[in-house]
Structure formats: C-alpha cells, structure tokens
Amino acid sequence: MTNLELSWALAEMGDLLELKGEEPFKVRAYQRAARALEHLEEEAASLYARGELERIPGVGKNLAKKIAELLETGRSTFLEQLRQEVPPGLRDMLAVPGLGAKSVRVIHQHLGITTLEELERAARERRIRQLPGMGSKTELAILRGLDMLKENRDRIPLGIARPLAQLFCRQLSALPGVAKVEVAGSLRRGCSMVGDVDLVVGVKGPTEVKEVMARHPQVKEVLLEEENRLSLRTWAGVKVEIFLVPEDKFAPAWLYLTGSPAHREELGRFAAERHLSLEKLGLPRRLEEAEASFRSEEEFYSRLELPFIVPEWREGRGEVWAAREGRLPALITLKDIKGDLHIHTRYSDGLHTIREMVEAARARGYRYMAITEHSRSLAVARGLSAEQLLAQREEIARLNRELDDFVVLSGIEVDILPDGRLDLEDDILASLDIVIASIHSGFNQKEEQIMARLEAAMRHPWVDIIGHPTGRMLGRRPSYAVNLERLLELAAETGTILEINASPDRLDLDEDAARRAKEYGVLLAINTDAHDMGRLEDMWYGITVARRGWLGPEDLLNTRELDGVLKALKRNRGNGGKHSAPGQGNARP
C-alpha cells in the first residue's frame, strides 16, 4: 500500500470515528497522521520494514498497529468494522459543502436523519435550526450545499480525480501482462470537473487487471464488468472506467478515448474537406473497431498534415483549423514558469517557514517567489498586522543577502474589506515589493457592491494583482456576484494583473475567463497560493487552465524573469502616486 492509500484509510477512520462521536483528540490523531502520511517523503512500507513506523509524526503504538495491518494485508479490520457501524448516508452527508462531521452527528442524533433526501426535507421544514449549535444560517448553508451537490452531481474536481488516477496507473503498470497505462477522457484533457476517471490499459499477455482492481481497498463496488472493460466506484464516490486493449491497438484506442467527441467531429469535418475519412486514417467510430493503424497520436495527426494537438485543446473550439494555420498559442509547460507569486508561510496560516518554501521553490528551478500572507482582518487565517509584516520583511531581507540565485519578494495578500477599503495603510502597501488584493468576506453582496470593491482595489496605486478574482470554490461554493466583462475592462484600464489561482479547489480565473482576459490584453499570473511545500506542485493545474484558455507563455507574468515581472507591476510603472523604484523593499532586480 502506498502512503497516499494509507493516508486515505486513516482519514476515513477519522471521519467515521467523528461521526460515531469519538473524543475529539482521538479523531484529531487520525487526521494528523493522515496528513503526515500524505506528505511523507519515504514509503511507509520501508519504515515498517525497519520497525520505524512510530517515527511518522502523530503515529503512536495504536496507529502503527493499524498501519502495519494495512501494509501487510491491504485491509483493515478496524476500518471495515467502522464502515459497518456508521450508516452510509452519514458519509454522504459529509460530502455536503459546509457540513462537518460534528453537525452531521448532531443532526443524526436528534432527528434520526440518514439520507440526503431526509436532510433536505428537514432543512426546508426548518427543523435544523432548532438543534444545538445551529441556526437558520446553517439551514441555508445546507440547502445551498445540497444545490451545489446536485448541480455537480457525479462530477468531481480535477484535483480529486488526478491523484487517484495517478495512483491507479502506478499500481496497474506494475501488474504482469500490462504494457502501458494512460489516463484518457476529460481528465487527460484537463477539464476542471470530470465525470469519471478513464484509464486505458495496453495488454501484452495474460493479466489479472480486472480481478486485482475489483479487490482494491479503495473500490466500493464493481458497476459493470465486460471482457475488455471494468467500471468501478470508489469509497470516495469516484467512478473509474478501465479499458483493456491489445498493446498494438493502444494509440488508436487512447486517441478515441481521449475525445472529446466535439474534437472528433471537428477532425471529421476537416478530413471531409480533404476527401479523407477518419476511419480510414485509423480513428475508429467505436472503441471495439480499433485497429492497429498507427503507433502514436503524432502519427495520426500527421496523416491529416496537422501538428500534434495536445489534449487540452481537443474541445472542438476551432483548434483543428487553428493548428493547420499555425494560430495555436505556443504550448506552456512547467519549464516556462520562473516563479510563484502567491505563497503563505507559518507567519499566517501556512505550514512551513519562508526558508523551507524557498528551498522547495529553488528545487523546482524557480528564480523568485513572493511571500504574501493574509492581512490582519482575516483572523481565521492568522492575518498579519503591520508590525508582524515589518518583522517578516527583515527576515526576507536577511535571506536575500544569503541567496545569490534566487530572490524573495516581500508581499501581502491584503483583504479587500466589505466597504472596498484595503486592510492595510497605503504607506505599508507602498513599501512592499508586490501586493495581491483579494476578497475573503461579504460574499453575499450584490453585484454592484462586489464590483465597487474590486474597482476600488484595481484603481488603488499599490495593488498589483487581484487574487482568485471570482472567489469560487470548485464544487463547493459559487463565485460571488462578479461582472466578468467589467472586471476585465477595469483590469485592462488600470494595468492590474489578474490571478489564475492554481489551487485545484479554486482554479480561478477559469479557462473561459482566462481566454477573455487575453482578448482584453490583461496580463495573468499563475499562482499556487501554496500553504505548504507540497502544494507548489499545484502549478500544474494552473498551467492546464491556461492551456485550455489558449494562453501562451507571453500572456503570463511569471514566465518572465524577475526584471520583467517587476517592470510589469503597476507600482513600478509610475501610475502610482509617488513612484517607487522596482524592488525598493528587498528585491534586487
């Protein structure tokens, strides 16, 4: 079992224990160990082999025993027993945005509710608000959360589907008879929300793929089994489709299963104009009809005299003709990214120190990074006061004197308050290298108020970037009332940069907004908003959004060297009241 699977198992134990009403400290122990396992550098299996499981933070004798059983047998009697004890409907209720295990337990205890339908009825009948610790706000939140769930019924965020797919790919690749495993479908195309996880397995001999996957500890049920296909549902509710194809038919099958159907149609029209047919070129009409007609997707596209079209562009949005005429943007890759401009550390609600974040960024080959903590009014996130900010600037300055191949920018993610003012004084904002302004409160305001706040921030001389501009949380919270066209117009007019927040539970701006932004000539920054070292990897998600929005490296801020970044900031372009030299704070351009 991998660390990730162990982590999932412990997290589930924690949830179930909480639903059962276990002592909070016990529940927290499972949650803490689950997080530690997720970020563990070494495989727990090798720690176990050396008898060192208890070196994992948060793991004592009891948890070590449970992990040992999972490692040895792939199962956990404790977890299986918990799953028996807790009604499955309660676990569904946990998936409702805004509903934690504690509230689910109270609702279950007092009202005997075990299904989402009963929960909705109780909320509509105003029976939730009478329960201890709840009110009409909880009721509203539940109804809104249920609406969101229904809207996204059976669709899951990319950030949940992708790690699961990677795990299954790794495990399947190791099985006898398996030549190759790849992700297909909307997941390969990088859609922010996907219906399921599609996996193509190239088979080169007898294999037990189906048997092994049906017994997988993450798998709750087999939905469908055919000779060359297996449909599963995981405990987390994710549907997984596994397609088995002979090795020599892998490329055509992979191309077919990647889609999208709209891309295929566009290819068909393009081929027809040239008196060609896709089937004759080797792209089957149905998966069963796949032949060993080409060895790679590149080969297929070249038969149509097209350059390779990456999956992110395969949506039937004119990509085929654009490819033909050389109008597709240059492909952005991780190598193009020179730095990350939205980072939290232990100073506010992050997990790691500035130095640790810097080391992680350097390991990725970055040249710079901006430390942007929350400001004081965001008390839940331990926002910084002006004094703490100054202390942090000292530390950053010291670090910069030490580093010769990397620059740390001293910044802030300042709150745009409900009345449109910023959460810090102008002279403090002016003294920093970079300022991101974001909305973290007053989400329910009318469009007029929201837009007034955003406009005030964008017209502010010391605001360089607007963070997560629409405020949406994927699958959990809709955006606040933003008028996107007006936002883009103002960004263009004021020279404010907009963020593509790469955190997979945001992806904000989304791909369509990113594409519109380019048309408005608005510069975008892909920022991870990382709260720990591991999350610097989320840059991948941001790049995927940018690719799907047809952006090229030149449309982005942080594909530039530091010098170019600083020059692009509003504060350094003389638009502000008093002009400050680039990097006046700590940066040395």
Binding segment for ligand DGT (CB under 6 A), chosen from 7-15, 52-60, 106-114, 193-201, is 193-201
Query: Nearer to ligand DGT by C-beta: 257 or 436?
Result: 257
Q: Which residues of 51-88 are buried (b: 16+ CB within 10 A; e: fewer)?
A: eebeebebbeeebbebbebbbeeeebebbeebbeebee
Q: Residue 15 binds which entry of Ca ion, Zn ion, ligand DGT, none, with Cβ cut-offs from 5 to 8 Å by kind?
A: none
* 245: β partners: 202
Strand, coil or helix: 218: coil
Would you say 336 and 557 are in contact if contact means Cβ atoms under 8 Å apart? no
Question: Contacts with Ca ion in 167-226 (CB under 5 A)?
Answer: 185-186, 195-196, 198
- Minimum distance from residue 188 beta carbon to ligand DGT (Å): 8
Q: Residue 259 binds which entry of Ca ion, ligand DGT, Zn ion, none, with Cβ cut-offs from 5 to 8 Å by kind?
A: ligand DGT
- Minimum distance from residue 155 beta carbon to ligand DGT (Å): 7
372 binds Zn ion (CB under 5 A): no
- Minimum distance from residue 542 beta carbon to Ca ion (Å): 22
Half-sphere exposure of 172 (CA within 13 A, CB side): 26
Q: Residue 172 binds which entry of Ca ion, ligand DGT, Zn ion, none, with Cβ cut-offs from 5 to 8 Å by kind?
A: none
Query: Nearer to Ca ion by C-beta: 96 or 257?
Result: 257
Query: Nearer to ligand DGT by C-beta: 197 or 525?
Result: 197
Contacts of 53 (CB under 8 A, 6+ apart): 44, 47, 59, 64, 67, 68
Q: Return the HEC string of 34-95.
A: HHHHHHCCCCHHHHHHCCCHHHCCCCCHHHHHHHHHHHHHCCCHHHHHHHHHCCHHHHHHHC
- Minimum distance from residue 259 beta carbon to Ca ion (Å): 8
Residues 492, 559, 313, 323: is their CA dihedral positive or negative?
positive
Q: Residue 120 binds which entry of ligand DGT, Zn ion, Ca ion, none, with Cβ cut-offs from 5 to 8 Å by kind?
A: none
471 binds Ca ion (CB under 5 A): no
Residues 431, 436, 438, 440: is their CA dihedral positive or negative?
negative
196 binds ligand DGT (CB under 6 A): yes
252 binds ligand DGT (CB under 6 A): no
Q: Residue 261 binds which entry of ligand DGT, Ca ion, Zn ion, none, with Cβ cut-offs from 5 to 8 Å by kind?
A: ligand DGT
The greatest distance separating any two alpha carbons of the chain, rounded to the nearest whole angstrom, comes to 73
- Minimum distance from residue 243 beta carbon to ligand DGT (Å): 9
Rounded Cα distance between 212 and 296, Å, is 28
Q: Residue 552 binds which entry of ligand DGT, Ca ion, Zn ion, none, with Cβ cut-offs from 5 to 8 Å by kind?
A: none
At residue 202's C-alpha, the angle toward residues 199 and 208, to 5°, is 85
**Residue of 7, 69, 67, 68 whose CA lies nearest to 37:** 7
Question: Contacts with ligand DGT in 257-296 (CB under 6 A)?
Answer: 257, 259-261, 264
Q: Residue 438 binds which entry of Zn ion, ligand DGT, Ca ion, none, with Cβ cut-offs from 5 to 8 Å by kind?
A: Zn ion
Query: Nearer to ligand DGT by C-beta: 20 or 264?
Result: 264
- Minimum distance from residue 260 beta carbon to ligand DGT (Å): 5
511 binds ligand DGT (CB under 6 A): no
Query: Nearer to ligand DGT by C-beta: 196 or 555?
Result: 196
Report how many residues bind ligand DGT under the rule CB under 6 A: 13
- Minimum distance from residue 438 beta carbon to Zn ion (Å): 4
Ranked by CB distance to ligand DGT, the top (closest) residue is 259
- Minimum distance from residue 302 beta carbon to ligand DGT (Å): 21
- Minimum distance from residue 313 beta carbon to ligand DGT (Å): 14
Binding segment for ligand DGT (CB under 6 A), chosen from 251-259, 304-312, 415-423, 518-526, is 251-259
Question: Contacts with ligand DGT in 150-189 (CB under 6 A)?
Answer: 185-186
Report how many residues bind Zn ion under the rule CB under 5 A: 1
198 binds ligand DGT (CB under 6 A): yes
Residue type, 330: A
* 477: β partners: 473
Member of 7, 218, 438, 496 binding Zn ion (CB under 5 A): 438
Would you say 412 and 436 are in contact if contact means Cβ atoms under 8 Å apart? yes
* 234: β partners: 219
Instruction: Give every strand in the sheet of 339-343, ordered side by side.
Output: 339-343, 368-374, 407-415, 434-438, 465-466, 497-501, 524-527
DSSP state of 331: P
- Minimum distance from residue 541 beta carbon to ligand DGT (Å): 16
Member of 21, 177, 195, 478 binding ligand DGT (CB under 6 A): 195
Query: Nearer to Zn ion by C-beta: 283 or 412?
Result: 412
Classify residue 481 by burial, with Cβ atoms within 10 Å: 0-12, 13-18, 19+: middle
340 binds Ca ion (CB under 5 A): no
* Ramachandran class of 521: left when φ > 0, alpha when ψ lies in -120 to 50, beta otherwise: left
Ranked by CB distance to Ca ion, the top (closest) residue is 185
| Residue 206 burial (CB count, 10 A) | 7
Rounded Cα distance between 402 and 395, Å, is 11
Residues that bind ligand DGT (CB under 6 A): 185-186, 191, 194-196, 198, 256-257, 259-261, 264
Residues that bind Zn ion (CB under 5 A): 438
Residues that bind Ca ion (CB under 5 A): 185-186, 195-196, 198
